Amino acid sequence: MSDLRVLLRGFVVVGVACLSVLVPAWATGPEYRLGAGDTIRVHVFQNPDLTLDARVSENGTISYPLVGSLSLGGLSLSQAEQRIADALREGHFMKSPQVTLNVLQVRGSQVAVLGQVARPGRFTLETSNVRASEMLAAAGGVTALGDDAVVVTGVRAGVPFRQVIDIPGLFTGQSVQDDLVLAAGDALYVPRAPVYYLYGEAQKPGPYRIERGMTVMQALAAGGGITPRGSQNRLRLHRAGPDGAVVQSVPRLSDPVQPNDVLFVRESLF
């Protein structure tokens, strides 16, 4: 009978080891901290009856035999092991419990990527130092309608924070320092790029994305230019003023285009 118990105990240890390789190596390292939604396996040496698979609840707790509810959220694996061992010892259930904890499934360390990206959704932090640019790449990159900036929100040291990152600057070296390391629960949002509207005697009228530093001439070129019936001299710009009233003007080709501008190419008089 004792041999059978030894054999079963061996299967438990092997099972834990096999399951632990299903998660990234960082999730079993000392730096990983448990979060809501993580699935863990608790193993107490020489006490297979206390082996338990548990899911960390939204408030960071698990329910463990004999000791009841334990708060593990935010703890490293070694800290969580110590807390469980302390609870067993202080409850006088065991004198010197040896607790091993394995992460079976990571759910707490996720980041949401939303807005104008190819594959919006929730993504697991595969390492402990994933940066914003890497997470955008994991989401398939910014779509053609996406803005040049990404808004990152989250919590640091218990305080909410918000940071706007210039995406082109991440790769041109102008804002490399802004490529922050993400944390569990962060959200990245790529807003829709500002647009202008081209109407009238343009080859391809419609809404267009405003490129950085775009001028009226470039805006006309993006729409294929003016038709033979149109006149560059009869180009009109409709722009909302500070009070919301739309003001009509005759723009210069070198003037910058602003969000929601309407460029109207009138028909030639001759």
Split at pLDDT 50, 70, 90, the class of 27 is low
- In this chain, the answer to whether the domains covering 110-190 and 195-267 adopt an identical fold is yes
pLDDT level of residue 36 (50, 70, 90 thresholds): confident
- pLDDT tens digit sequence for 62-109: 999 999 999 998 888 899 999 999 999 999 999 999 999 988 877 767
Give the DSSP H/E element, type plus range, for residue 152: strand 149-156
Say if residue 13's pLDDT is above 70. Answer: no
- For domain 195-267, which architecture applies? Roll (3.10)
**Angle ∠(159,131,103) on CA atoms, nearest 5:** 80
Model pTM above 0.75: no
User: Domain 2-105: which CATH class?
Assistant: alpha beta
Q: Which two tokens stand for residue 212?
A: 């950085």
Model confidence pLDDT, tens digit, residues 130-182: 899 999 999 999 998 899 999 999 988 878 999 999 998 888 777 778 899 99
Q: 125 pLDDT band (50/70/90 cuts)?
A: confident
Can you give 30-48 as a three-state secondary structure string?
Answer: CCCECCCCCEEEEEECCCH
User: Domain 110-190 classified CATH 3.10.560.10?
Assistant: yes
Give residue 157's region: left, alpha or beta (phi > 0; psi -120 to 50): left
201, 267 in Cβ contact below 8 A? yes
Domain residue ranges of the chain, discontinuous segments joined by +: 2-105, 110-190, 195-267
Confidence of residue 24 (pLDDT cuts 50, 70, 90): low
223's CB contacts (< 8 A; 6+ apart) are 198, 202, 203, 204, 205, 206, 208
